[in-house]
Each structure stands twice: as C-alpha cells, then as structure tokens.
Structure 1
Amino acid sequence: MSPPTGNPITDQFDNDLNDPSYDTRRQIGLRLTIIARMMRNNFDRKVANLCVTRSQWAMIAVVSRHPGSTQRTIAEALEMSEASAGRLIDRLCADGLLERRDRPDDRRARAVYLTDAAEPLLARLATIARESEEKLMKGFSDEELAQLRGFIDRIYDNVSRG
C-alpha cells in the first residue's frame, strides 16, 4: 500500500486497492490510475526547471523521431486533434524549438522540424525519461518486461476499440 499523500481522493484510491470487496479487475484499474498519476507527477517535478510540459515534450519527441512530418501526422501520433497539435506547434515555434518549412511535394502542407535550440532540451528530457523508466522497471527481468508489455498491449487494444 502507498503511504498517504494527504489528498483524500487519491488516498481513498489507495485504500480501495486493499478492500477485499473490490474485485481484481477493479483493483487493477485503480492501480493503473494511481501509477499513471504518480508517473505524471514525478515527470512534472523533474522537468519543472526546464519550463516544458509533458505535451510539449511529447511533441518534441515525435518530431525528433519523424522530422518533416505534417501537423496532421503529428496529431495522429499523439492522439490529439489537429487543431490542438497546431496550437502546440505554434507555441514551440514561438519558443524557437520547432520550425515549419514548406514541403516541395505539397504546397498546402508544411513540414515540422526541430531547431538546433531543441537538441539540448531533447537530450536532457531523454535522460530524465530513461532514468524514470529504469526506476519504474527496476527488478523486472527481460522476460517479465516482455510479458508485461504483452498484457499492457492487450489492455490498450481493448480500450482503443471503445
């Protein structure tokens, strides 16, 4: 059981996990909720001094892996609306971390690229992500991680099908 956080709602989630009247599926769902919250909070705390949000980091990471992508492609990769992706790209362009360029194959579409200014930030964020992942997966064998990945993929597939 997690130590109390002082937040009555999240502390109640933690208590519910140990309530024998909750079935296993409910306990797993609650635990996934708590883990996701803790991961978000830990990430936010670690990057606070970098002045970047999770969504900005995700955008930068997608563009770094797929330079020259369109706003539509990036939005699909991040599972967000094209308008939301556009606003985020605009913000990161204004901050000097991304840039839009004309595409020679389509005059209507613009390609998105990282700027040189984004590279040090991306490197620092990658280090933070790697350290967080190591802490999260500490004590798991490669076989256990592969099995967990399979389970999580099945859950993801179930949820994504609506």
Structure 2
Amino acid sequence: MSNEDSSTVTVSGDLTPGTKGQSAEPACTDSAHEARRHIGLRFTIIARLLRNNFDRQVVNLNVTRSQWAMIAVVSRVPGATQRTIAEALEMSEASAGRLIDRLCADGLLERRDRHDDRRARAVYLTPAAEPLLEKLASIARESEKRMFKGFSEDDLEALGSYLDRIYDNINRG
C-alpha cells in the first residue's frame, strides 16, 4: 500500500465532453475547477439567503416573492400584456395569467381592454397596490444597500457584466 491518502483520487487528462478525442473546451486546472465549484455553491447560498431575507421582511405584508415580482414589473411597465409580463419574469404565460388573476382578485391589479388589440388585455396596478408597492420598494432598497455595501460603481458594473455573461451562457444551453 502506498503512503498516499487512499481517499484522494487523482484524475489525469481532459474529461471535458468533446468529439473523437477532442475536447469542446480547454481542460480546467484543478484550481480553476475548484473556483468554479465554489462560485456555483456561492450562487446557491446567496439565492437562498436573499429568499429567506425577503420572506422574513415581508411576512406581515401577506405577499409572496412571485407576487412582488409581478407587482414590480407592472409598476415599471403599466399597461403591459400578460405575454410581456411573462417574458419579463421568465415564466409561462399560463403561470403569469394565474398570478395576474390572483392579484386582480386581491384588488392589486386590474385588466383593461386595449384599444389597439381587442385580443390582448393590458394590466395595471390599482390604487390599493400603491401602499404595498412603496413598502416593498423600501424593503428592496434596504436589501440592496446591505447587499452591495463596500462596492464601488465600477464594481457593480463589472459584477453586472459578469452575471449577464453567465446568464447568457446558461440560456444558450
């Protein structure tokens, strides 16, 4: 038996998928592979922390993250169609429709006929949504302030650019 730790497995060569022995991408060094794994894990943890933090802050407002996202999109694009809202939230039109129906029933959104397209209906906030929107916007500002503490404007632009690249890479499949 060797003196090496038996729990350590060393793999040599490129295991990146490719065709006929050619890799699709250059092989990662061990340190690059570890960095990627660490970053991926951090994304997961940060997403969970953000969700939990949001849930704790809005527990008394009786609103879900999905509802808040819908209200925020409609506030930014008043008169948007269900399709436009679904695209903005990256959800199916059917799911967006159910969420819009729920928020209409709660008196926070309303659908109106469009004069330019009788098939589509425009979605707007109701006056009842305004106080909730103000509270949620305040919570969002405080969360962003805390999350980006110590970041310069250049840091935020670079981070945004990196995240956009990751997003594009994932969406391209």
TM-score range, shorter chain: 0.7 to 0.9
Matched, 1:138 2:155: no
In the TM superposition, residue 103 of structure 1 has moved relative to its aligned partner by 0.6
Q: In the alignment, which of 153, 156, 159 is matched to residue 148 of structure 1?
A: 159
1:78 corresponds to: 89
Inter-partner Cα distance in structure 1 for 2:75 and 2:128: 12
Equivalent position amino acid for 2:101 in 1: D
DSSP 3-state at the match of 2:120: strand
Separation in 1, partners of 2:152, 2:123: 38
Structure ranking higher in helix proportion: 1
Distance 2:39 2:147 in 1: 17
C-alpha distance in 1 between matches for 2:154 and 2:119: 47
The two structures have a TM-score, normalised by structure 1, of 0.85
* Cα shift at 1:133: 0.4
Percent sequence identity over aligned pairs? 77
When the two chains are superposed, the root-mean-square deviation of aligned CA atoms in Å is 1.1
User: Given residue 135 of structure 2, which amino acid in structure 1 is its aligned partner?
Assistant: R
Q: Give the partner amino acid of 1:44.
A: D
Structure 1 CA distance for aligned equivalents of residues 159 and 87 of structure 2:
25
Using CA pairs under 8 Å that are at least 6 residues apart, name the structure with larger relative contact order, 1 or 2. Answer: 1
1:44 to 34, 52, 55: 55
SS in 2 for 1:111: strand
Cα deviation code 1:63-82 (max 9, x no counterpart): 01111111111101100000
Return 5+ residue gaps in structure 1 as ranges.
1-19
Among 74, 78, 97, the residue aligned to 2:108: 97
| Paired positions, count | 142
Structure 1 residues 52-63: aligned runs within 5 Å = 52-63=63-74
Task: Report whether the alignment pairs 1:107 with 2:115.
Answer: no
After the TM superposition, which parts of structure 1 deviate over 6 Å for at least 4 consecutive aligned residues? none
